[in-house]
């Protein structure tokens, strides 16, 4: 629950920050460009201006692609002490790598759970009261 609130707040902070930078750019463009633009256009060759315009367009397209790829990454939700993606595949709460070794492990928790190959931790599926629950039950609750 707290992680969900943090994620939503972070996404809104980024949106507000982007909006503020955009407003600042518009203000600077409106106030600075009218007196400076005629001087620049008069002294710079038209090939240089076209090259800068093409470079600007290419960089903007590259940034747009990066933003879209980052937004497309799967968002993970926390349930039962484990991250789950939209396909209900479990991910490690420490390193967020995919968990796939569900078995019985002898550990402090004892019982069934996952062993993360990447960080070497045992991850048990636990409900709100801290009791271990089996994977099929967790998946059924996730789908409900």
The whole-number mean pLDDT for each consecutive block of 10 residues of the chain, a chain of 144 residues, reads 69 79 88 82 84 92 87 79 86 86 70 83 84 86 82
Q: Which residues contact 3 (CB under 8 A, 6 or more apart)?
A: 78
Q: Which residues contact 39 (CB under 8 A, 6 or more apart)?
A: none
| Same domain? 6 vs 67 | yes
Q: What is the pLDDT of residue 133?
A: 85
Q: Beta strand pairing status for 82-84 and 102-105?
A: unpaired
| Same domain? 31 vs 83 | no
Domain tally, the chain: 2
Residues 119 and 91: beta-carbon distance below 8 Å: no
Among 54, 72, 90, where does a domain finish? 72
Residues 102 and 113: beta-carbon distance below 8 Å: yes
- C-alpha to C-alpha distance for 79 and 64, rounded to whole angstroms: 32
Among 46, 72, 98, where does a domain finish? 72
CATH number, domain of 92, equals: 2.30.30
Q: What is the pLDDT of residue 70?
A: 77
Residues 74 and 86: beta-carbon distance below 8 Å: yes
Q: What is the pLDDT of residue 62?
A: 94
| Same domain? 68 vs 82 | no
Among 72, 89, 105, where does a domain finish? 72
| Same domain? 121 vs 104 | yes
| Same domain? 68 vs 81 | no
Q: Taking the CB of residue 79, how many other CB atoms lie within 10 A of it?
A: 15
Check residue 128 and report its DSSP letter: T
Q: Which residues contact 78 (CB under 8 A, 6 or more apart)?
A: 3, 4, 84, 93
């Amino acid at each position: 629950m707290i992680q969900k609130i943090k994620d939503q707040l972070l996404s809104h902070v980024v949106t507000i920050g982007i909006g503020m930078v955009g407003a600042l750019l518009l203000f600077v463009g409106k106030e600075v460009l009218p007196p400076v633009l005629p001087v620049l256009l008069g002294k710079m060759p038209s090939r240089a201006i076209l090259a800068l315009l093409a470079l600007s367009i290419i960089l903007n397209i590259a940034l747009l692609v990066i933003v879209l790829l980052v937004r497309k990454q799967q968002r993970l939700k926390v349930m039962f002490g484990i991250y789950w993606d939209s396909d209900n595949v479990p991910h490690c709460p420490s390193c967020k790598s995919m968990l796939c070794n569900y078995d019985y492990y002898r550990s402090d928790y004892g019982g069934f759970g996952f062993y993360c190959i990447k960080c070497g931790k045992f991850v048990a599926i636990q409900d709100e009261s801290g009791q271990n629950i089996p994977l099929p039950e967790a998946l059924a609750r996730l789908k409900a």
